[in-house]
Structure 1
């Protein structure tokens, strides 16, 4: 007997496809969300952060240059003369260094002869005062003789360092400065130095010497050596 196949009606399939659609909706609602697309704003935040860091660094530099109270910071200034053992003061009679291109006319003895035959380029002199530990005023003459060559300077230094060969006049001996009871600084302490083409000559003394001449001359020589640094003030 032939079995009759019944046609499938739409009403018979509705529950099936509706169930499948419901399951699909359920799966879609429970599935994890897809990864977000690259966050372009994050790159912008990074760039902004770098910019803010640069501003902070720049602000720090500005703060170092300008104090909070509005005063600009400055580098501490130092005097041209380096520190030493004795405190020297410019003589009010010689507020500025005295300069002359004729050195021979401000010298005596063999030194004058040498400077006549071997002219210098410039003579610069200054006068300073300091005090001994017991308060006695010391007068210090600083003379800088600039020669044409270092060889001439070495010869001049060797000549002036020997006894009885004369020297460059200090400002008291030259009559440029008047100090009661003094006619020269050549009887006190002496120091000299050569710096390339320049010869530095220092003489120090007081108007009255102490009872111990050896101790006095030793102290005057000590002051003269300390005064070698004063050449920085004459340049």
Structure 2
């Protein structure tokens, strides 16, 4: 009889302990492992694309050209031209013209400034006709930004009347004029710089 009572007491005690375990008011939660997930907005921030009209630097051939002023763009070519070129553009409006100024070095003390003008015409034929006029000496040109006062660069040479290069590509003509700083003279080198600067046109806004 005593043994039965003892077994009953053990059973009751065991049941009470089990009840306490199942109803612990402060259970231990297993620690999480691994890397916390990052939200999509943190992984892929949304930014607005930035496409500046003025290239930062342009490598063309062996020369590196650095912009000296922001590129200026307009659809009124006649207002930024002079001479016969202006007269022709007044009767044959362009679609777009962008103008830039860049500096480069040719080694030693040879520092040059170039103007790069890119004119887009309504047709290949009109672009070809414009090139024929600008390539003719004494007929004027589309102004570089120093010539018409759009940009002031103290100590900069006047590129109008200096080295000249142009290229026609479909309805677009690229015109380059260049000059050395400080009256430096090396005509062949300046011609090379002007010819290389033609490549800036396709990257200029």
1:124 lines up with 2:98 in the alignment: yes
How many Å separate the matches in 2 of 1:165 and 1:145? 17
Q: Aligned partners of 1:123, 1:156: CA distance in 2, in Å?
A: 13
How far 1:84 moved relative to its partner? Answer: 1.3
- Give the drift of 1:181: 4.1
Aligned to 2:135: 161
CA change 1:82–1:88 in 2 (3 A) is closer
Say whether the 8 Å CA contact 1:202–1:227 is kept in structure 2: yes
The answer as to whether partners of 2:60 and 2:197 remain within 8 angstroms in 1 is no
Deviations 1:41-82 (A, max 9, x none): xxxxxxxxxxxxxxxxxxxxxxxxxxxxxxxxxxxxxx9956
- What is the RMSD computed on CA atoms of the aligned residues? 2.0
1:171 offset after TM fit, Å? 1.1
1:179 counterpart = 2:153: yes
Matched, 1:198 2:182: no
Q: Displacement of 1:125 after TM fit? A: 1.0
Q: CA deviation at 1:208?
A: 2.6
Question: Which residue number corresponds to residue 234 of structure 1?
Answer: 204
Per the normalisation by structure 1, the TM-score is: 0.59
Q: 1:187, CA displacement in angstroms?
A: 2.9
- The counterpart of 1:86, out of the listed 63, 69, 79, is 63
Residue 225 of structure 1 corresponds to which residue in structure 2?
A: 195
Relative to the length of structure 2, the TM-score reads 0.67
- Distance in 1 between the 2:165 and 2:201 partners? 13
Aligned counterparts, 1:200-219, within 5 A: 200-210=174-184, 216-219=186-189
In terms of fraction of residues, the more strand-rich structure is 2
Structure having the higher Rg: 1
Stretches of structure 2 lacking an aligned partner (at least 5 in a row)? 1-55
User: How many matched pairs?
Assistant: 150
Separation of aligned partners in 1, 2:151 and 2:110: 19
How far is 1:87 from its partner?
1.0
Shift of 1:170: 0.6
Taking CA–CA contacts closer than 8 Å with sequence separation of 6 or more, which of the two structures ends up with the larger relative contact order?
2
Note if 1:103 corresponds to 2:106.
no
